[in-house]
Chain A
């Protein structure tokens, strides 16, 4: 009977997830972007790094004549035009999906794990709370983009530095969220009774307190992923992110800045992909929030 009830509850949760339009639209778009990223080696028409000086700064749809390895001429269409080094924008945009999704996912995971750990400890152990929260307050007071920007400048630029720099700006938000949940839960009678029967602290934290943080944490994690994708693009766009020859949406746009007046597509194509991806993650998060955590609706 009990098991039956449980499975029933699970199906309705899944059903309401599927019925929620913003979750569905967000998930659908994300799936498309993910497929583009995964299938990039098949979708691209040209190596994203290949420099071809004879077709620099061409408009979308430009047809160029290339030679293959055997010296035979063949026609080639640059679907989204080329940049100032003659690289094919379409192929670069397709590969750019990989970097954005990778950054979004890794930053979200890292900040969720570290933030969860710190938040649990800070919320449960009063003596740790003051220290951890002061550091978090300080980190949060520094505007995220500035913090990430200076971190990347101080350490050596690269994919892992960018991930680390963005994660550091996001961790305090997770810590705050988890801590606030822990603080409210630790006063609950069932936690007190668990303490009374002598439950070891680690069991108490993992079995009784941790599960309460999961729902708001999942919601927060999607927002972090969206924000991380944006910040990475900003860093690359400003020229301090991942090295410029790597095809990322931010890098393609940075490359297109100088020629913007003549060739706006260098900024618009990656920009549209970026905006749609972030929009999808945000929509997904909004839908999840409505379903998982009705109390959070009022919050931003």
Chain B
């Protein structure tokens, strides 16, 4: 077990290094000069040059990389050009809405999609299966922002059940928080549900063909118990995997959903920073999101040992 864990952790390291290098290089590729952006429109060439020296942009690329890396590893993500604040401060400020949105979406999708996937697998080939799979294809095809606006129009404007936009911190009242987060979560979970429902269906289908399922039926267990205790548990590994694969999708969705629902989270911050060409902030956020997604996938890999004791490498 320890060997498996250490092996997985070591295998993740090159990916992380690669992400760090790519995120650093991204800025080098830029057509715009960060010094010119900071200096503003009326700056003279000398002023720009001064800022360039200040930022260390006149140094060789490798030296710059080293300097950047040593700063980032101590949590110093630099100062935002646009917000004139430490990027780490900005991130801490905005992390709560994003975490709420992401976690609620995962929970919601699992509760909606896993039962649907099991149903579709159990009734393979019937109209139930077709409806669920049809919905899944639709979930993949309708962009998050269209779903978001559709829900907003239906539930907030026509039915006025829920507030239209915005976010309320959980510390300012749970009920208000829930009301505001519900609609964005439902909108964002569409894609995620599609992904989870599909994979649940295929993995449960596979398991249902196994001998021990027949045995379970033969000894007189009800369908419900066979499905829940025998089929679903053995289908858990692929379902958990897909949650990991979906993290990247979820992060992309968060960026869009926060913009649609005016939620002041990290996604909205990313878009604002991109529009303002605020490179340090963009760089820090891309790094943060990517490393998070790598770490979650690592944790999921490690969790297999819990879900499936057969996995021992």
Contacts and interface: CB of A to CB of B under 8 A. Distances in A.
B152 interface: yes
Interface stretch (B77-85, B172-180, B194-202): B194-202
A274 B146 contact: yes
Contact of B277 (A147, A151, A153, A286): A153
A237 interface: yes
A137 B282 contact: no
Contacts of B146: 253, 267-268, 271-272, 274-275
Contact of A141 (B27, B141, B255, B293): B293
Interface stretch (B11-19, B39-47, B219-227): B11-19
B282 A150 contact: yes
A154 B29 contact: yes
Contacts, number: 158
Nearest to A278: B141
A226 B141 CA distance: 8
Interface stretch (B86-94, B210-218, B228-236, B267-275): B267-275
Nearest to B255: A145
A300 interface: yes
A240 B275 contact: yes
Contacts of A152: 274
Contacts of B199: 300
A137 B14 contact: yes
Which one of B17, B19, B248 has the greatest number of beta carbons of chain A within 10 Å? B248
A142 B286 contact: yes
Interface string A139-150: 111111111011
Given A146-B289, A147-B286, A149-B255, A271 B248 contact: no
A156 B141 contact: no
Contacts of B271: 149, 238-240
Given A234-B143, A264-B153, A282 B22 contact: no
Given A234-B145, A238-B271, A134 B14 contact: yes
Interface in A144-185: 144-147, 149-156
A162 B29 CA distance: 15
A228 to B, nearest CB: 12
B173 to A, nearest CB: 25
Given A141-B293, A267-B149, A274-B146, A240 B137 contact: no
Interface in A179-223: none
Nearest to A253: B145
Interface in B242-265: 242, 245, 247-249, 251-252, 255-256, 259
B21 interface: yes
A154 B157 CA distance: 38
B248 A230 contact: no
A234 B16 CA distance: 27
A260 B152 contact: yes
B10 interface: no
Nearest to B292: A143
Contacts of B153: 260, 264, 268
B69 interface: no
A279 B140 CA distance: 8
17 contacts: A134-B18, A138-B22, A146-B255, A150-B274, A150-B283, A152-B274, A153-B275, A153-B277, A240-B275, A261-B157, A264-B153, A271-B142, A274-B146, A275-B146, A278-B140, A279-B142, A300-B199
Interface of A: 134-135, 137-147, 149-156, 226, 230, 233-234, 237-240, 253, 260-261, 264, 267-268, 271-272, 274-276, 278-279, 282-283, 286, 297-298, 300
Given A238-B256, A253-B146, 20 more contacts: A137-B18, A138-B21, A138-B22, A139-B18, A143-B247, A143-B289, A146-B289, A150-B283, A154-B31, A226-B141, A239-B275, A240-B275, A260-B149, A260-B153, A261-B164, A267-B146, A271-B149, A275-B141, A276-B141, A282-B140
